[in-house]
Amino acid sequence: MSADTNKFVIPIGPQHPALKEPANFEFWVDGETVTGASVRLGYVHRGIEKGAEARTWVQNLYLMERICGICSHVHATAYTLGVEKLAGVEAPPRAQAIRQIMGELERIHSHMLWLGVAAHEGGFDSLFMYSWRDRETVMDLLEKISGNKVHYSANLLGGVKFDITPELAAEIHKGLEFLDERNRFYLKVVNQDETFIGRPRGIGTMTAERANFLGAIGPTARASGVAHDIRVDAPYLKYSEFPIKVETHTSGDLHGRFIVRINETFESIRVIREILDHLPPGELTARMPRRIPAGEAISRVEAPRGELLYFVASNGSDKPERVKVRTPSLCNWSTVLSLAIGLKLADMPMLLTGIDPCFSCNDRSVSVKRGTQDSSMWSWEKLRHYGIEYYR
Amino acid sequence: MASTIGALGAVEAVLEPLAVSFNRPQPERLDAVIRPDDLLTAVRTMVNESWGFLSAIVGLDHPAPAPVEGEAEVEGSIEVLYTFCKGAAIAILRTTLPYSQAVLPTISGLLPAAMLYEWELREMFGVEVIGLPVTGHLILADDWPDGLYPLRKSFVGFNGEEKSQ
Amino acid sequence: MVAQTLDSSWQGVLAKVKNWARINSPWAIHFNSGSCNGCDIQILATLTPRYDVERFGIKLQGSPRHADVLICTGPVTMQARDALLRTYEQMPDPKFVIAVGSCGLSGGVFHGCYNIVGGINELLPVDVFVPGCPPRPEGIIYGVAVLLGALKSGKRPEPIQWSGTGLDGVLHTGSKLEDHHG
């Protein structure tokens, strides 16, 4: 790849070019080899769990959505399902189906976004540009349905806010056709392009046993053959009626994670088509009490990155007692800390990208320590270029 | 659903000798109340049984209730929920720690993923986790005041002091 | 709100701006002070061929030392605060700040949470606010265009009164909170 890779800087995540920052990743290296790794999160810590206790149940819907711009719907869905469980209310079938459609569209968006970023991290900017351009199609669909490209706010406590008309359904079908064709192209690139395959192959290899021991979840674990997916293990919304097939791979490395995510995109496209053709008729909302009865509820949903768990506790008032959010990325960070050891420093960007860390936690400052004395601060860009140059 | 009920039955059986009590708040969920001293053994039992995976460690703050005339004061406590999931089944080990004795052993030797959760628990609730192989902050800023635990009910923010900067 | 009587330091700045306004292609740096990435995704969209903000002459690059404009998102978490200040300080004069998104205006939906400072203007003088959660790429480009338009005419952006659209807000300039109430 040419020097063009120097020109483009992705404005996602905090930037600390050449500034002395508390490191967000720390790597100890011996020569080229990583001997230890640690993480420090918190750059995007906003105090949401605490904030939730001071807001009403409905206000929290809008708060939880904004934990992450890329998986906003799945957060809102998990929260809503938890609250509905506490209230003993079930949203009508049509609402559940629409929630599922939005969730799968979001998954497509997230996977295509990841594809571009992962390609960029490896220096494959043309793949990055193409996938991000094509991703605009799914964002357009989401906007046509909800009115917003990001933070669609589909959920209401008890149902959904908007309907999918036959005209909209036709538009979605058209968009999906395009996305299907494009993703087949990407699958071919990922499987056949020799210059591409060299980077992710053999990186971050995790056996199924290791994946289970480390507690990996989501596509990261499924690439190691661990066939866990909440949509199948504990179906929610309309996943019992419109099931998906769990996509796994056996290589357990980063290359496998590419394959799993692209295959999941196909499954999402397929299931959306199926739901659109059999959309249940009926109401969009069910009545919800303003005060939610006291109790505890746990809701688990499959976010694009893995299992998202919400623990919602009520004390009988109009505000929650406790809302705990365990994001999938938190589970997968542990795998990175463990897998980094023995790998080369140049592999770190691709390894980290492989777990698809939610960017709201993907800080961009890295500390590289050689021995006990020499420690230097690298910006992410520097690490990324280091990786690309190393494998040139 | 049959496999869920079966899974819950199996975990109840292995936890029987250790649990103070059991509860089934929802059909897919089993809560087992464990004494803090028995926690490590209980987790080891789960791991030996290969029962699911540790999905989350949830902290709950139960502040001291208002003192009642003529009755002994009740201390505030922190309840910690070790949430294991196997398929659709959820098994939770619940243990309660009084503020004055908010100490737990680390389980990260058995389950590496627990390290991040225990780190967060320590930071947010002030539970001392013996043997946790990390120091410093995970989520809060380096200059966060000592002894201030954001998720305890007693913390009510900085009341705008920060904002006037 | 364009001041008729200017003190000498403000005149100095204006002189610099007039000179600098001959530059048609300001370089921008993006900073995320703890946002959910919603706004950042939309900023990114402006760089894609569909919107192509670069044709307006604004170029996104990586170093604050070469930047004229800081495009900032997020409600400024405690951890981000120092980094944001340092980034701003590293930028050479004259420099301008665009705050993108509701979080940048007031902390947005996180207003009152313990770990955030609030709007970016609590920390830095902000020249243009782009409201929205997140704003559309068109809105961000409009904000950029407002800034560029003002600069080309050699002065800082002026407040714009909205009318007839039902929006009661005002796009403010200036640095302190007191400018923004009322």
* 0.90 exceeded by pTM: no
Q: Under a CB-based contact definition with an 8 Å cutoff, are residues C57 and C23 in contact?
A: no
Interface test with A, best of B46, B49, B53 (most A CBs within 10 A): B53
Is residue C18 over pLDDT 70? Answer: no
Q: Looking at this protein, which amino acid is placed at residue C74? A: G
Is residue A11 over pLDDT 50? Answer: no
pLDDT computed for residue C160 by the predictor: 60
Nearest-Cα residue of chain A relative to residue B28: A234
The more confident residue out of A381 and A200 is A200
User: Contact A11/C77, CB-based, under 8 Å?
Assistant: no
Encode pLDDT of B38-84 as tens digits: 999 999 999 999 898 999 999 999 999 888 888 888 889 999 999 99
Please list every residue in chain A whose beta carbon sits closer than 8 Å to the beta carbon of residue B112. 213-215, 334, 338
Please list every residue in chain C whose beta carbon sits closer than 8 Å to the beta carbon of residue A43. 34, 77, 79-80
What band does A101 get if pLDDT is binned at 50, 70 and 90? very high
Compute the distance between CA of residue B162 and CA of residue C115 in angstroms, rounded to an integer: 9
Encode pLDDT of A228-239 as tens digits: 999 999 999 999
Query: C84: closest CA among C117, C41, C129?
Result: C117
Encode pLDDT of B99-114 as tens digits: 999 999 999 989 988 9
Compute the distance between CA of residue C77 and CA of residue A45 in angstroms, rounded to an integer: 7
pLDDT computed for residue A368 by the predictor: 63
Domains and CATH numbers, chain C: 23-180 (3.40.50.12280)
Tell me the CA distances in angstroms from A17 to A13, A364, C142, C180, one per residue in order. 12, 9, 27, 32
- Domain residue limits, chain A: 3-43+331-390, 48-202+259-328
User: Contact B113/A215, CB-based, under 8 Å?
Assistant: yes
Q: Looking at this protein, which amino acid is placed at residue B20? A: V
Which is the CATH superfamily of the domain at A48-202+259-328?
Cytochrome-c3 Hydrogenase, chain B (1.10.645.10)
Most confident of A15-19, B118-122, C29-33: B118-122
Query: A314: closest CA among A290, A336, A337?
Result: A290
Mean pLDDT, rounded, for C144-167: 66
Distance from CA of A314 to the nearest CA of C (A): 20
What band does B35 get if pLDDT is binned at 50, 70 and 90? very high
Is residue C180 over pLDDT 50? Answer: no
Encode pLDDT of A272-303 as tens digits: 999 999 999 999 999 998 889 999 999 999 99
Compute the distance between CA of residue B152 and CA of residue C120 in angstroms, rounded to an integer: 28
CATH number for B2-67+74-156: choose from 3.30.460.80, 3.10.129.10, 3.20.20.70, 3.40.50.2300. Answer: 3.30.460.80
User: Contact B58/A85, CB-based, under 8 Å?
Assistant: no
User: Contact C78/B162, CB-based, under 8 Å?
Assistant: yes
